[in-house]
Each structure stands twice: as structure tokens, then as C-alpha cells.
Amino acid sequence: MNQSSRNKRKSGSVRVEPEKQNEKDTPHVLKGEVRKKSSEDSGNRWTFLTNHAHVLIVLHREPSIVLREVALRVGITERAVQRIIQDLEEEGFIQREKIGRQNHYEVLTDQPLRHPIEKHKTIGDLLHMVSEEIQ
């Protein structure tokens, strides 16, 4: 083993060349250009609204939806949906009515939003904002 190889092993700093990407893999990225993440990329999972807001929106759109379907649409577990529904019910944002074996949820749209920055708006304002079509 030569001196250079021993020094690399001792220091633990062996240089590894990055894999070269095929041009077909990244046709929209030019050499030296930084590619911005899109909201569609996996690993970029934050959103402007919370899971509580997402559940509320889904319940408003479909009052008789089952929890499993809410979980699938929001992208969280059924157990998380149960906790969120419990929070929303305890805070007076929704009412749950049992009809046979199914729950029916009523979103109380006149309730103010919780945070001081947004409490001048109501749940109804939020629902209206997210249901409007972008022009």
C-alpha cells in the first residue's frame, strides 16, 4: 500500500465522485442550474393549511363521509382523523349526529377561527375561500 492510500484510509476522507445523471433523467435542468422543488415532490409535504383545516374542509364537502375516506383524502391515519374530529367537536367547530350506523357531521360555519391573526374571520370564510375557483 502506498503512502497516499494509507493517509486516505487513516483520515477517513476518501473522495467519491458523484454519479453522473443521464440527460433523460433531468431534461428541464441545465448544467449548473438549481432545480426548485415543486409542491408535488415527495419530501416536500408541508402545506399552508393544517390537517385540522383539511379534515374540516372534507367534512363540510361531504357530511356523511366515513373516516377511512377522510384519512385517504387528507393523507393521514384514521386514528389521526379521529383525534382531529374529537378536537373539532370539543372546540365547537363541528357537531356529530349518529344516523343509523353512520355519522353525519355539521360544520358550524359561524365560529371564528382560533388564532389571533385570523380570528376576525369565520370557519365559513375559510370554507368559502378554499371552495372558490381560481380564475
Q: Is residue 1 included in any domain, yes or no?
A: no
Going by the DSSP 8-state scheme, the letter that residue 46 receives in this structure is -
Q: What is the pLDDT of residue 33?
A: 62
User: What is the CATH number for 85?
Assistant: 1.10.10.10
The rounded percent of the chain whose pLDDT value lies above 70 is 64
Q: Is residue 27 included in any domain, yes or no?
A: no
Q: What cell does 11 get?
A: 483520515
Range of the domain at 88: 51-131
Q: Is residue 2 included in any domain, yes or no?
A: no
Contacts of 16 (CB under 8 A, 6+ apart): none
Q: What is the pLDDT of residue 131?
A: 85
Q: At what angle do helices 78-90 and 67-74 cross, to 10 degrees?
A: 100
Tens digit of each residue's pLDDT (9 = 90 or more) over 59-106: 999 999 999 999 999 999 999 999 999 999 999 999 999 999 999 999
Q: What is the pTM of this model?
A: 0.66
Tally of domains within the chain: 1
